[in-house]
Structure 1
Amino acid sequence: MTWIIGDTTEAGFQKDALAGVLMMAGAAMAHWGAGRGRRWAGFALSTGGGLLPWMVGSALLGLLISNVAWGWTIAVSGMWQPTFVPFVSVPCVLVLLYGRGWAVALTGAVLGAGLTTPIALPMVNLVCRPTGLPNVVGTTTGMAVSTLIALPLCRSLPWMLRPAIDAPEVAGLIRPDAPALLLSSRDHSG
């Protein structure tokens, strides 16, 4: 269990279960404070749309699935393995793009563990270690490639419906003196 909780901090190049618990508690506190307009909450997490619980849930489930499905690689190799990669990749991307909901969260978790970890494992073990490249090259390659596979795949999944962006919400995020660079899909004729 401490390995899985420690995986939450590994994207920052450390692995510590206590740091993972404190990071998640801090994020929950900031999310709560931002929802109540507290200045101490800092910047908006997960684009400020209230998606943090869904992102964290999907990412944690992806992390759990990854460790259950691929944790055996640690025992076989006796070395560190990139089981943390779903926590910071596909699940979060899908929740940001498709919004809240169980279908999105579960799809993100399964695709994160089912794509990201099995791509990152051979990149780290068969490319980075033998050639002396830093492991981060293999883990980030796994995250990038799995996202490039997951996004087109999700377009064909009937339960993955992308929500329309509400123009008034987006307009509130733009400074009044900034040029209008964001167009809604109905205003875009190109």
Structure 2
Amino acid sequence: MELAPERDRPRTLVLGIGNILWADEGFGVRAVEAFHRRFRTPDGVALLDGGTQGLYLVQHVTDADRLLVFDAIDYGLEPGTLRLVEGDAAPRFMGVKKLSLHQTGFQEVLSAADLLGRYPREIALIGCQPLDLEDWGGPLTAPVAARIEPALALARAVLRNWGVEVVPREVGEDEPALLGNDLDISAFERRQARG
């Protein structure tokens, strides 16, 4: 069986958005970072820490046929509640209650992709209800941190449904860090512990 040329294969973007400096607001970035540590992805799948880049993400989104987003979303539910929203409903949930400027920016990214005629064919949002968005420089709260692993399992199921199979990394397998400059979760929390 011959593979389709690279540009003919569906491209999938796994994106984490949020601000790691505001406690649970960092859920999306920490989730995509954990996904990168746990799984190897096939060709045609990109992982990206979107942080608070807003409109700078347009090119990445318009290059994707499928978009999976991790984010902290205020659903008005119990802190740590995970919710999967797919298709046309996903952008609406990103605007239920704006937690920070990055959400407004991401809605604008999706609108720009639509205006350009390059909106992803499939979109899924894995959102986690935050507990604390006020602790500047603080780590994820316990109920939100505890939902990272279930969020990864949910993401893996979404990707499998899209025909994308990810493979767990081997124990001790050396992979390049997704986040640099001491922003990965281990370095960040060590720095927090030193005070």
Q: Give TM-score scaled by structure 2 length.
A: 0.30
Pair member with larger Rg: 1
Higher relative contact order (CA 8 A, sep 6+): 2
Higher helix share: 1
Higher strand share: 2
